[in-house]
Structure 1
Amino acid sequence: MSDDPKSIRRPRALGGGQSGRRRTRFKLKRLIPRSLLARSLLIIIMPLILLQGISTWAFYERHYQTITRRLSQAVAGEIASVIDVLERESRTMTNVEMFALADAHMWLNMRLLPDQELKEVDSKLLPSVLDSRLGQALREQLWHPYVVDSQSLTHYVEIQVDLGDSILQVLVPRRRLFSSTIYIFLIWMFGSSIVLSAAATLFMRHEVRPIRRLAKAADNFGRGVDVTGFRPEGATEVRLAGTAFLQMQDRIKRQIQQRTDMLAGVSHDLRTPLTRLKLELALLGDDAATESMRADIQQMEHMIEGYLAFARGEGTENPQECDISEILRQVVDQARRDGAHVDLHIEHSMPTVARKEALRRCLANLINNAWRYGGNISITGQWYRKGVQILIDDDGPGIPSEKREEVFRPFFRLDTSRNPETGGTGLGLTISRDMIRSQGGDLKLEEAPGGGLRANIWLPG
C-alpha cells in the first residue's frame, strides 16, 4: 500500500452526512404545517403533550406501582398470618370462625379445598403490574407454593396456596390491590388538556383572523380591487402592519392620481401644437412635402398615444366580474375580420374578476403581435379553481430565450431601426404585462410547440 497522501482516498462520510442531514431537514419541513394557525397550535400543544406524557410516566412509575406494591404487601401479610394460625396446633377458634373474621375485617374470602391441586393459569397472558407486585409480595411472605389468577374473575383476584393436605383459596377484591386514583388523575389531566387545547385553538383563530384579513386586503389592492372597510385590528404587531398597509395604499393612490393629472396636462399640451400643425398643413394643399409631414405627424401622434398609455396605466377602470371566454371570442372575431388566421380552443365559460376593457386591449395587442410576426395563431384557454390560463401561440420566428425578458422593458425593440411600421414603439408588450400584473396575474414568453412564440397568460380566479 502506498504511503503517498495523494493516493489515500478521503472518506466520503462528510458529504454523505451532509446530504443525509439535508434529506432529514427536508422530511422534517414536510411534516411541519404551513399555516400560521397550525404552527401556533403545534407550539402550544406539543409541550402540553410532552408534559402529559412525562407526568403520566412519572405517576405510573412512582405512585401507581408504589401504591400497588404496598397494598399487595398488606394482602400478602394478612394471608401469611392466616396460614400461620392454620398451621399452629393450639387454636382458640375454628377454621370457619377464622375465615369469617378475615372476611369481616380484612375483606378476604377464604376457604379450604381438600384433596385438590393448584389450578393452572394460562402462561400466554402477559403479567400485569398487579400480578408482578402481588407475586413479589407473596414470595416475600409465604414459603408455600401458590398461584395468582387475576384474569378469570371480574371483581376479584384469586390466590391459591398449597398447604400440603389442602388448598387455601383466597378471593381478594380488586379494590384492595390497587388505587383508582390513576383513572381520576388521567381523566382530569386529559380532560383539562382537551378543554385548554380547545380554548387555545379559539384564541389563536381569533388572533390569526386579522392577519388573513390583511393578506386579503393586500391581495385585493394588488389586483386593483378597491379596499373598503379594512381597519387595523388584532395584536400590536398586526395593527402596525395594517396601519403601514393603509399608509402605503394612500401613498400609491396619491402617486397614481398625481401621475394621471400630470399626464393629462402633458397630453393636452402635446396635442395642441400637433392640431395646429395639421391645420397649417391642410392650408398648404396636397403635395409630396405635405404628405410626408402628415405621415410624420401621424407617427408622432401614434408614439405619444403609446407613451401616454404606458405611463397612465389602467388604474381608472374598476375590476368587475367578467367572462374571459366571451372577451376572447370578441377579440378573435375582430382579428379574423381583419384577415388573421386564428384557431380558438377555449372552455365555454371562464369567469374571473378583472378590468374588462384593459384585458380586452391586452389580448388584442398580443394577438395583433402574433399576427404581425406569424401566419397562423392558436389560442387555448383553460379555467382552473385558482385562476385562468391563456396560451397564444404563433408560427413566427419567435424571440431568443435571452431576449424574452428584455422585450418587456419600455421602448426596447428587437428591430434596431426606428421605423414604427416594422418594430412599433417598443411599448406593446410592456403595456400588456403591466395590465396583466396590475390585475394580480402574470405574462411570460415561451417557445411555442410549433417553433414560434407563446404568450403564457395567467389570471387569478
Structure 2
Amino acid sequence: MRLFPRLRFGGLTKRFLPRSLLGRSLLIILLPLVLLEAVALQVFYGSHVDIISRRLSDAVVGELAFTLEALHRWPSVIDHEWILATARDRFGLALRIEHGQRLEAHKSRNILGPMDDDLHAALRQQIRLPFTMDWTSDPRYVLVSVQLPEGVLSIEAPRKRLYTNTIYLFVLWLVGSALILFGIAAIFMRNQVRGVRRLASAAEAFGMGRDVGFIKAEGAVEVRQAAAAFNRMQERIRRFLAQRTEMLAGVSHDLRTPLTRLRLALAMLPQDERWRAEIAEMTADVEEMERMVGAYLAFARGEGVEQAEPTNLTAMLEEIVVRARRDGAQVDLAAPPLLTLSLRADAVKRAITNLVDNARRHARRVRLAVEPNGTRQVLVMVDDDGPGIPPEQREAVFRPFESGSAGGTGLGLTIARDIVRAHGGDIVLEDSPLGGLRARIRLPV
C-alpha cells in the first residue's frame, strides 16, 4: 500500500520552465550564479556583519549604561546636567530627562536586519529597564527611550555608530556582478541560439516549398554542422526533384504521343452511321486516358518547382468560380475583396479546383467561403448539398485511387491535401450546413 502519493514533477517542470532554448540556457547559468551568491551573502552576513553589529551595539549600550549608572550615583540636578553634557561631548549621545513621563506601549519601530535585534538584546542585557526603540523616524539618529523612576530618558544615538555600510556595498557588488555576468551570458547565448533559429526557420520554409537558398553556417560547431547538413539535404532534394521532373517529362511525352495518334486515327475514320457510336465511345476513352495520365503525372510530379509568392486568394477563387459556372455548375462565393497570402498560386488553384469539381460532381449547389482564423491562418470552406461521406470513411478518400468514381481518377483529393500540407496547412472533411460535405482548408498567413 502506498503511504504517500507519488509526486509528479514533470507537469510542474514543464509549466514553470522556459520553453525556448535561450531561456533554458540562461536559466542554467542564472540558477548556479544566484545560489553561489546567496551562499556568499549568508557566509558574509553570518560571520562578519553579525559580529560587527553586536560589537557596535554593545559599545553604544555600554556607554549608555555607564551614563545611567552615573546619573543614579550622583542624583543632584547640577550633577545630572554635567553628566548629560559629558555624554554628549564624549560619547556623541544626546540625552535628556523628561520628568513625570511614562513610556508609550508598542512604540518601538524596527528595521530589517541584525542591527535592531542586536541593539535590543544589548539593552535588555545591560540596562534592564523598560525601553523602546525607533529606527525609522529620524534618518540620522536611532531614538531610544528608557523608563527611569523620575521620568523617561530620551537618547539620540548616531545611526552610523550602530551599523556599517559594508553590507550594502557587498550586496551591491553581488547584485551588480550578477547582472553583468547575466548580461554577458545573455548576449553570448542569443548569438549562439540565433543560428538554431535561422536553421529552424529555413527548415520550415523549405518544408513549405519556398526556396530559402543555402543558409550561412554560424555559431557553435554543432550548429555549424547542422546548417551544413541542412544545405546538403536541400541540394540532394533539389537534384532529386530535377531528375524526377525530367523523367516525368519524358514519360509524359511517351504516353501522350500514342494517345495523340489514336485520337488522330479516330478523327480520320469515315463518319459512317454504323460506326458513329463506337467511334464516339473510343474517342471518349482516349480523352479519359489523357485525363488520367495528366492527373497521375500531376500527382507524381508534386509542386516543388513552383515558388511561393504573394497571391490574391480572393481573385483566385473568383477565377475558379467563373470556370465552374461556365461548365454549368451553381457555385456561390463569399470572400473579402482582397486577401493576399504567400502561395504557390498554380498549385493552390489546382487543389481548390479539384475540391470544387469533386463537389459539383455529387451535388447541385456548391458554396465557397473564406474566413480569417486569428492572425496566422485563413480558412477556405467548400460546401455542397450532395449525399456527403460517412465520418468513418472521410479519411480514407484522401488515399490515392480510393475516391475514383463518377468520372474521377481517384487522385483529386489526394493531390489537394498534398498541395495544402506542402504549404503548412491541412484539409479536413466535415458535415456541411448545406446538408452535404464540407472540405475545410486551413492555410497559414
What's the TM-score, normalizing by structure 2?
0.87
CA pair 343-57 structure 1, distance change in 2 beyond 3 A: farther
1:303-334 CA-partner distances (Å, limit 9, x unpaired): 21111111112322221101101111111122
Residue 429 of structure 2 is matched in structure 1 by 445
Aligned-residue CA RMSD in angstroms?
3.0
Cα contact 2:110–2:134 (8 A) shared by 1: no
Q: Matched residues in 2 for 1:73 and 1:207: separation?
A: 55
Give unmatched runs, 5+ long, in structure 2. Answer: none
- Counting matched residue pairs gives 438
Q: How does 1:51-130 map to 2 (within 5 A)?
A: 51-88=36-73, 99=84, 101-111=86-96, 113=97, 115-120=99-104, 122-123=106-107, 125=109, 129-130=114-115
Greater shift in the superposed pair: 251-260 or 448-457:
448-457
Cα contact 1:118–1:146 (8 A) shared by 2: no
Q: Matched residues in 1 for 2:117 and 2:439: separation?
A: 77
Residue 197 of structure 1 is matched in structure 2 by 182
Cα contact 2:143–2:156 (8 A) shared by 1: yes
Shift of 1:455: 0.9
* Match for residue 394 of structure 2 among 389, 400, 404: 404
Residue 376 of structure 2 is matched in structure 1 by 386
Query: Matched residue of 2:430: which SS?
Result: strand
CA pair 310-425 structure 1, distance change in 2 beyond 3 A: same
Matched, 1:357 2:349: no
* Match for residue 264 of structure 1 among 236, 249, 259: 249
Shift of 1:205: 1.8
Shift of 1:39: 2.6
Matched, 1:337 2:326: yes
Query: Matched residue of 2:410: which SS?
Result: coil
Matched, 1:172 2:157: yes
Matched, 1:254 2:239: yes
Q: How does 1:221-236 map to 2 (within 5 A)?
A: 221-228=206-213, 230-236=215-221
Q: Which amino acid is the alignment partner of residue 33 of structure 1?
A: P
Shift of 1:25: 4.5
Residue 8 of structure 1 is matched in structure 2 by none
Identity %: 45
Cα contact 2:348–2:419 (8 A) shared by 1: yes
Q: Matched residues in 2 for 1:114 and 1:314: separation?
A: 98
CA pair 102-12 structure 1, distance change in 2 beyond 3 A: closer
What's the TM-score, normalizing by structure 1?
0.84
1:96-115 CA-partner distances (Å, limit 9, x unpaired): 6655554444333345x374
CA pair 142-30 structure 1, distance change in 2 beyond 3 A: closer
Shift of 1:87: 4.7
Shift of 1:237: 1.8
Query: Matched residue of 1:446: which SS?
Result: strand
CA pair 327-213 structure 1, distance change in 2 beyond 3 A: same
CA pair 120-413 structure 1, distance change in 2 beyond 3 A: closer
Cα contact 2:363–2:384 (8 A) shared by 1: yes
Q: Which amino acid is the alignment partner of residue 299 of structure 2?
A: F
Q: Matched residues in 1 for 2:150 and 2:197: separation?
A: 82
Cα contact 1:110–1:168 (8 A) shared by 2: yes
* Match for residue 45 of structure 1 among 7, 25, 30: 30
Shift of 1:360: 1.6
Matched, 1:29 2:14: yes
Q: Which amino acid is the alignment partner of residue 460 of structure 1?
A: P
Q: Matched residues in 2 for 1:66 and 1:303: separation?
A: 93
Q: How does 1:181-330 map to 2 (within 5 A)?
A: 181-228=166-213, 230-287=215-272, 288=275, 289-330=278-319
